[in-house]
Amino acid sequence: MQIYLPIAEMSVNVFVILGLGGGVGFMSGLFGVGGGFLMTPLLIFLGVPPTVAVGTEANQIVASSVSGVLAHWRRGNVDVKMGLILTLGGFIGSTLGVYLFRWLRGLGQIDLVISLCYIVFLGIVGSLMLVESIQALLASRRNGGTVPVRKKHQHSWMHGLPFKMRFRRSQLYISAVVPAVIGLFVGILAALMGVGGGFIMVPAMIYLLGMPTSVVVGTSLFQIIFVTANATFLQSTMNHTVDVVLALLLLLGGVVGAQVGARFGIKLKGEQLRSLLALMVLGVCLKLLFDMVTVPGELFAAGTGGKH
Amino acid sequence: MKRLLLALALLLAPAAAARAAEPLVADLSKHLVAITTGFAGTDVLLFGAIEEVDGGKTGDVVVVVRGPNKTETLRRKDRAMGIWINSGIAKVDNAPSFYQVASTRPLDQLASPAILGRHQIGLDHLDLDIRVKDGGADQAQYRQALLRLNQKKGLYGDRALDIGMLSQRLFRTDVHFPANVPVGVYMVEVYLMVDGQVISAQTTPLVVSKIGIGADVYDFAHHQAAIYGIIAIALAAFAGWLAAVVFKKA
């Protein structure tokens, strides 16, 4: 069954889009990630214009993070104060990101920047995660199931910064500048890449801020809601690239897939999940890298707008 | 614009088209291609009749379907530091957004390049104003690229022998509009050619327009962008909340 997407201005098979939403939703439920880093490249691969893919994916992530944050909220795993500081930075960052997006689109280099961002960040995060999870897997085998506890509250240059604040849920007393800057940086990337940014936010919260793992996912989801909502709003008003019909189809498949995935996820061990996720992240990264270095089948591309 | 006025004048004068003495009459099965929610491309039937001219000679029919002109930007990738990046650009100011030709015989057998060029019949005879800003490729390469890319999308084409003739007098052809067809007022030109000359020509407008919910969503997104954005966010937030509630109970 074909359906015409009013903003993307193309006709797609409803079941392909539902299946895509379901498949990526399954992954996100299984691994506890947003899935934007998979969905945006897949949409572009299907022929959706990259600008529409990025804008629409921001809209869909609003839905999946609202759905995800509620479960964490009930268990009290959201540090609202930390979330708000991250959101403040994220708002500024995503606004800058959308302006940057528009500027790069005018230059005709937006596709390149999107691809490079994906390759660099997926490469870094994927490799780190793979190394860490393999070490954890080996350690758990050696120690008969126990994983060594990481040392927390290391003192560093960050503790010398002003605007210190107490974050009760995270059991931290740190400068508000650090989370605000992290939020800003992730906000820019989220707007440029059409992702929530959880895959950068979560490691940053654990390793840079030293937040306890229990509140990390809930707080990151909390912040992602507002950052992607801001990106959705700006992409709709400035670039007209949010397709609600596509977003609704994707999230319909996505929520069902996420629930199924979450149920499968319980059966797997944390380290196993992380190493699988790392392999998938690296897979996407290598595919994009491969496309950039091999000779393209078509050297020319058409697009409207842009400076001469 | 001149073309449009001419077409409207022809449309508003049905007596002229119906007169039996006309060497060429043609019409479309429909004058509106409606892009609805379920739109996946469509065919429009063009049919008509030709009269014998000058002592029993029968002519050939050429059909040209032209979409509204637009500015196309083409970019060319080149290798830099090991990766392929956009490094050249060209702008085409008067590229038709849609261009299909059908004919009873291959175009080069029908008329001289001068005649074909005058009426812009055939991809090779399209008059394109290409401004190139690229050290590595010339106008001809960009021209070929534009034609190739649009042919791949099903928007351009010139197919000979795609017009069916019945008893030397009646002709018919299907014009295919793919799902990605641009909106606007199209011109359907039908030419009757004898001995390398255009004997008669007729132009009919065809409107391609978005209709229904899809059109409303598009208009709303462009004219009420802020409200559209807020609704998009609210819809997503509600759907997310609904999913969380439903699956908690299940």
Tokens describing residue B156? 């351009």
Q: Decide if B236 touches A, using CB distance below 8 A.
A: yes
Q: Which residue has the higher pLDDT, A170 or A240?
A: A240
Give the C-alpha separation, A250 to A23, whole Å.
Answer: 10
- For the stretch A246-297, pLDDT in tens is 999 998 898 888 888 878 877 777 778 878 888 988 998 998 899 888 888 8
Residues of A in contact with B148 (CB under 8 A): 298, 300
* Region B87-111 average pLDDT: 91
Q: Give the integer Cα–Cα distance in Å for B111 and B123.
A: 14
CB A6 within 8 A of CB B217: yes
Q: What is the pTM of this model?
A: 0.80
The pLDDT tens digits of the residues spanning A53-87 come to 999 999 999 998 888 888 888 888 889 999 999 99
Q: Say if residues A90 and A227 touch (Cβ distance below 8 Å).
A: yes
Q: Tokens representing B110? A: 């029908």
- Who among A240, A304, A306 is closest to B225 (CB)? A240
Burial of B9: CB neighbours in 10 Å, binned 0-12, 13-18, 19+? exposed
Return d(Cα B186, Cα B181) in angstroms, integer: 11
* Minimal-distance CA residue of chain B relative to A10: B180
Query: A87 Cβ partners below 8 Å, 6+ apart?
Result: A183, A222, A223, A226, A227
Calculate the alpha carbon distances from A150 to A127, A147, A197 in Å: 19, 9, 24
pLDDT at A305 over 50: no
How large is the angle between the packed helices A50-74 and A213-234, nearest 10 degrees? 140
Pairwise CB contact (< 8 Å): A232 & B236: yes
Chain B, window 104-143: residues with a beta carbon less than 8 angstroms from a chain A beta carbon: 131, 133, 142
pLDDT band at B18 (very low <50, low <70, confident <90, very high): very low
Q: Under DSSP, is residue B158 helix (H, G, I), strand (E, B) or coil?
A: strand
The C-alpha atoms of residue A149 and residue A37 are separated, in whole angstroms, by: 30
Q: What is the DSSP string of A232-260?
A: HHHIIIII----HHHHHHHHHHHHHHHHH
Interacting residues of A12 by C-beta distance below 8 A, sequence separation 6+: A2, A3, A5, A46, A246
Q: What is the average per-residue pLDDT within A160-167?
A: 77
Using CA atoms, how far apart are residues A251 and A189, in angstroms rounded to an integer? 22
